[in-house]
Amino acid sequence: MKAKVHVALKSGVLDPQGKAINHALHTLGFPAVRDVRQGKLIELEIDEQDPAKARAAVEEMCKKLLANPVMETYRIEIE
């Protein structure tokens, strides 16, 4: 089973990488970009047939390693 975890910084948390991307886009001729927030996508292949068990396992992975709950939010997709 495949799982995708989308991790993003919470609103209000400074995003220096997003600011750098925003500046670079303006330099490349894209002045209409107002703000950029960057995140990460983590794809996992899991040996589990039950979607509920897969989601529970990925949720635990997020809490323990994949996301920092103080600064980040995450969204899980099970395929």
Q: What is the pLDDT of residues 4-42, one digit of tens each?
A: 999 999 999 999 999 999 999 999 999 999 999 999 999
From residue 2, alpha-carbon distances to 57, 67, 74, 75, 77 in Å are 12, 18, 16, 14, 8
Residue 1: both structure tokens together: 């089973």
Model confidence pLDDT, tens digit, residues 10-19: 999 999 999 9
The closest of 45, 54, 20 to 35, measured between CA atoms, is: 20
Residue 65 CA from chain centroid, whole number = 13
Q: Is the pTM of this model over 0.85?
A: yes
> CA–CA distance from 5 to each of 16, 30, 51, 52, 65 (Å)?
22, 29, 14, 15, 12
